[in-house]
Chain A
Amino acid sequence: MSDRITVEELSELMKKAAGITVSPAELEESYDRGFDTLGVDSLGLLGIVGELENRHGAPMPPDAERCKTPRQFLDLVNSALPAGA
Chain B
Amino acid sequence: MSAPQERRAAVTGIGVVAPNGTSTETFWKSVQEGISVLDRITREGCDHLPLKVAGEVRAFEPADMVEERFLVQTDRFTHFAMTAADLALEEARLGRADTDAEPFSVGVVTAAGSGGGEFGQRELQQLWGKGSRFVGPYQSIAWFYAASTGQVSIRRGFKGPCSVVAADEAGGLDALAHAARAVERGTDVIVAGSTEAPLAPYSMVCQLGYDELSRETDPARAYRPFTDAACGFVPAEGGAMLVVEEIGSARRRGLPVRATIAGHGATFTGASRWAESREGLAQAIRGALDDADLAPEDVDVVFADALGVPEADRAEALAIADALGDRARRVPVTAPKTGIGRAYCAAPVLDTAAAVLAMEHGLIPPTPGVADICHDLDLVTGRARPAELRTALVLSRGLMGSNSALVLRHGAA
Residues on A facing B (Cβ under 8 Å): 15, 17-21, 39, 43-44, 46-47, 50, 53-54
Shortest A20–chain B CB gap in Å is 5
Q: Tell me which of A19, A46, A47 contacts B71 (CB under 8 A).
A: A19
In the bound complex, residues from chain B placing their C-beta under 8 Å from that of A18 are 69, 72-73
Complex CA distance for A20 and B137, rounded to whole angstroms? 16
Shortest A19–chain B CB gap in Å is 4
Q: Which residue of A lies closest to B136 (CB)?
A: A47
Q: Contact between B72 and A17 (Cβ–Cβ < 8 Å)?
A: yes
Residues of B in contact, count (CB < 8 Å): 14
Q: Contact between A43 and B140 (Cβ–Cβ < 8 Å)?
A: yes
Q: Contact between B133 and A50 (Cβ–Cβ < 8 Å)?
A: yes
In the bound complex, residues from chain B placing their C-beta under 8 Å from that of A15 are 68
Q: Contact between B69 and A19 (Cβ–Cβ < 8 Å)?
A: yes
Complex CA distance for A50 and B72, rounded to whole angstroms? 15
Q: Tell me which of A20, A46, A50, A54 contacts B69 (CB under 8 A).
A: A20
The answer to the question of B70 belonging to the interface, with a C-beta cut-off of 8 Å to chain A, is yes
Residues on B facing A (Cβ under 8 Å): 67-73, 133-134, 136-138, 140-141
9 A-B pairs with least C-beta separation: A19-B72, A19-B69, A19-B68, A43-B137, A46-B137, A47-B137, A47-B136, A39-B69, A20-B69
In the bound complex, residues from chain A placing their C-beta under 8 Å from that of B134 are 50, 54
Complex CA distance for A43 and B73, rounded to whole angstroms? 9
Q: Which residue of B lies closest to A65 (CB)?
A: B137
In the bound complex, residues from chain B placing their C-beta under 8 Å from that of A21 are 68
Q: Contact between B138 and A43 (Cβ–Cβ < 8 Å)?
A: yes
Complex CA distance for A53 and B137, rounded to whole angstroms? 14
Q: Which residue of A lies closest to B71 (CB)?
A: A19
In the bound complex, residues from chain A placing their C-beta under 8 Å from that of B133 are 50, 53-54
Q: Contact between A19 and B136 (Cβ–Cβ < 8 Å)?
A: no
Which of A19, A20, A21, A54 has the most B CB atoms < 10 Å from its CB?
A19
User: 7 other contacts beyond A18-B73, A47-B136, with CB at 8 A cut-off?
Assistant: A18-B69, A19-B69, A19-B70, A19-B71, A44-B137, A47-B138, A54-B133
Complex CA distance for A54 and B135, rounded to whole angstroms? 11
Shortest A24–chain B CB gap in Å is 18
Q: Contact between A50 and B137 (Cβ–Cβ < 8 Å)?
A: yes
Q: Contact between A19 and B67 (Cβ–Cβ < 8 Å)?
A: yes
Q: Contact between A50 and B136 (Cβ–Cβ < 8 Å)?
A: yes
Shortest A81–chain B CB gap in Å is 17
Q: Which residue of B lies closest to A59 (CB)?
A: B133
Supply 27 A–B pairs (Cβ within 8 Å), ascending by A.
Answer: A15-B68, A17-B72, A17-B136, A18-B69, A18-B72, A18-B73, A19-B67, A19-B69, A19-B70, A19-B72, A19-B73, A20-B69, A21-B68, A39-B69, A43-B73, A43-B137, A43-B140, A43-B141, A44-B73, A46-B137, A47-B136, A47-B137, A47-B138, A50-B133, A50-B134, A50-B136, A53-B133
